Amino acid sequence: MDLTIENILFVGSVLLFISILAGKTSYKFGVPTLILFLAIGMAAGTNGIGIEFDNPRIAQFIGIVSLNFILFSGGLDTSWKSIKPVLGQGIMLSTVGVFMTALSVGLFVWAITDFNIYEGLLLGAIVSSTDAAAVFSILRSKSLALKYKLRSTLELESGSNDPMAYVLTIAFLGLVTNPDVGTLDLIILFFRQMFIGAALGLLFGWLSKIAINKINLGFEGLYPVLVISLMFVTFSSTDLVGGNGFLAVYLCAVYLGNQDLTHKRTILKLYDGIAWLMQIVLFLTLGLLVTPIEIIPYIGLGLAISLFLIFVSRPIGVFFSLIPFKMKMRRRWYVSWVGLRGAVPIVFATYPLIAGIEKANIIFNIVFFISLTSVLIQGTSLSKVADWLKVALPQKVKPRSPLDYFLDETPKTSMVEVDIPFENPVIGKKILDIGFPKNAIIAMLRRNGKYLTPNGQTEIKANDQLLVLAEHEDSIRAVYKALHLPEPDLSDD
């Protein structure tokens, strides 16, 4: 079956519907949803129903768009407070750890195959990073609670290590196609990509905050659309000037996620849904692109490389990069185990296909098999290994992410009505500008006898009455402090 304008929407919507239903039931059988999405794509492909899809350029484009949404959604849900204590660990894992993984896998492939050293290092670079879609999806869908800020470390690493893997992939691909490229050129490429990407990511984050809060669009539904446009501007502009667009998008989102934004709750909700959609679309597309019968000759080699990556290469990268930090051995082993490979390596494997190098098809099939086995072996055992290594928290003390607070529909534990007196310093200011605590919300505003539903752009006026919902008494005190009011007496009568 060929994909045409007439049937592409029908086929796509049917595959999407089946994927959603499969994802809903998959964890009853202990199978990660991502594997189901891949399997459905493969079943619909050439060796299944017969849908013909053999265009790596389109697959790469879909992959880049999807990764933008997945990384941006993960960044929005990343609390600076939670990642600050593990920032050093995350940076080392996402740079030194990725490089060591790429190097060791590359040398292993070179030793056991007819690949030359550059081709081996290219394959190692492609599979060197953990996959943000896989880690975010599996950790959050399993609601896995971990001790010692391990979850923050793992999510920070998975969200920030794709740029390093991308730079290594481009560098080694350049060496395969042109072995005369100098080492200095590669070093310049690395620093240009990383420094420009980081700088422009934070700059666009700051500019995006101003745009979101200062532009009055009039309709709440337009604000997520504005954020989407800002996300793509960040990626494309950074890529245009030689920076790493993936790093820029992630840092831009982390910055925005820790700021007070107009209609932030609406933006978070939309991105949470779109991130799931992009994960499904990405894995379906890659499932369609692969031809299962072509993987069979490489199962033995793929399994050998996959096991080496899981049990040797990943631990080398983790243990080496975490040398400067105090961390018990069992925590290091768990970080090593959560080295999930998913869609990102498969997307990166399309670069050799498009470049037309000699072993491009072999690399693609091996990378696909590695990603498949990684999610099957590691993804299905995260909870059991966490219990075995004693790094899992009891469910009753599971920490909550910032997104949980914003999306939680249940009432807060404390409620208070606050009057804004005449000449109060906050009069005339927008709610997002007064430093309102993040674990409290203004549920309703009463003005001149009328009730209003406020948002970040709402200006506070004299004699306003605010109905505030907060998590606990400390939050109530923080509310009064932000409103420049005397601290209330919260003692029991």
Determine the pLDDT at residue 403. Answer: 43
Helix, strand or coil for residue 54?
Answer: coil
Has domain 410-482 been given CATH number 3.30.70.1450?
Answer: yes
pLDDT at 411: 45
pLDDT of residue 107 exceeding 90, the answer is yes
Highest mean pLDDT among 116-125, 158-167, 187-196, 365-374: 116-125
Q: How far apart are CA 142 and CA 182, in angstroms?
A: 46
> Residues of the chain with pLDDT > 70: what percent?
86
Residues 6+ apart with CB under 8 A from 373: 302, 303, 306
**How many angstroms separate the Cα of 13 from the Cα of each of 2, 10, 17, 70, 133?**
16, 5, 6, 20, 21
Which of 96-100, 120-124, 432-436 comes out lowest in average pLDDT?
432-436
**b/e per residue, 107-125, with b = 16+ CB within 10 A?**
ebbbeebebebbbbbbbbb
Neighbours of 66 (CB within 10 A): 25
Residues of the chain with CATH 3.30.70.1450: 410-482
Q: Which helix (H) or strand (E) holds 314?
A: helix 314-321
Distance CA 272, CA 447 (A): 34
Residue 112's pLDDT band (boundaries 50, 70, 90)? Answer: very high
Contact 135, 317 (CB under 8 A): no
| Mean pLDDT confidence for 69-96 | 87
Section 31-38 average pLDDT: 69
Other CB atoms within 10 Å distance of the CB of residue 491 = 6
pLDDT at 151: 77
Residues of the chain with CATH 1.20.1530.20: 56-273+296-397
Per-residue pLDDT tens over the stretch 38-70? 778 888 777 777 677 778 888 899 989 998 998
* Rounded-to-integer distance, Cα 94 and Cα 317, Å: 10
Residues 6+ apart with CB under 8 A from 303: 369, 373
Strand order in the sheet with 465-470: 414-419, 465-470, 440-447, 450-452
Q: Is 444 exposed, middle or buried (0-12, 13-18, 19+ CB in 10 A)?
A: middle
* Higher-confidence position of 196 and 74: 196
The answer, yes or no, to whether residue 492 has pLDDT greater than 60, is no
Burial of 260 (0-12, 13-18, 19+ CB in 10 A): middle
Cα 143 vs. chain centroid, distance in angstroms? 16
Most confident of the following: 132-146, 203-217, 441-455? 203-217
> Exposed e or buried b for every residue in 75-95, given b needs 16+ CB within 10 A?
bbbbbeebbeebeebbbbbbb
pLDDT at 2: 59
Specify the higher pLDDT residue, 266 or 138: 266
Residue 243 has pLDDT above 60, yes or no: yes
CATH number of the structural domain 56-273+296-397? 1.20.1530.20
Cβ proximity of 376 and 341 under 8 Å: no
Would the pLDDT of 226 be above 90?
yes
Identify the three-state secondary structure at position 77. Answer: coil
Query: Where residue 312 falls among pLDDT bands split at 50, 70, 90?
Result: very high
Structure tokens, 226: 């504005």
Cβ-Cβ contacts under 8 Å for 249 (sequence gap 6 or more): 68, 71, 72, 75, 201, 231, 234, 235, 238
CA atoms within 13 A on the CB side of 413: 8
- The string of DSSP letters for 395-438 reads GGG----HHHHHH--SPPSEEEEEE--TT-TTTT-BGGGTT--T
Q: What mean pLDDT, rounded, does the chain reach?
A: 83
Q: pTM here?
A: 0.76
| pLDDT tens-digit series, residues 329-361 | 988 998 899 888 877 888 899 999 999 898 999
What's the pLDDT at 129? 87
| Structure tokens, 251 | 């840092």
Q: pLDDT band for 319, please (50, 70, 90 cuts).
A: very high
Residue 407 — very low, low, confident or very high, per pLDDT cuts 50/70/90?
very low
**451 - beta bridge partners?**
446
d(C-alpha 132, C-alpha 161), whole Å: 9
Q: What is the pLDDT of residue 214?
A: 87
Which residues lie closer than 8 Å to 134 by C-beta, 6 or more apart?
32, 34, 158, 340, 341, 342, 343, 374, 375, 379
pLDDT of residue 22 exceeding 70, the answer is no
CA atoms of 57 and 73, how far apart (whole Å): 24
Instruction: State the DSSP code for 84.
Output: G
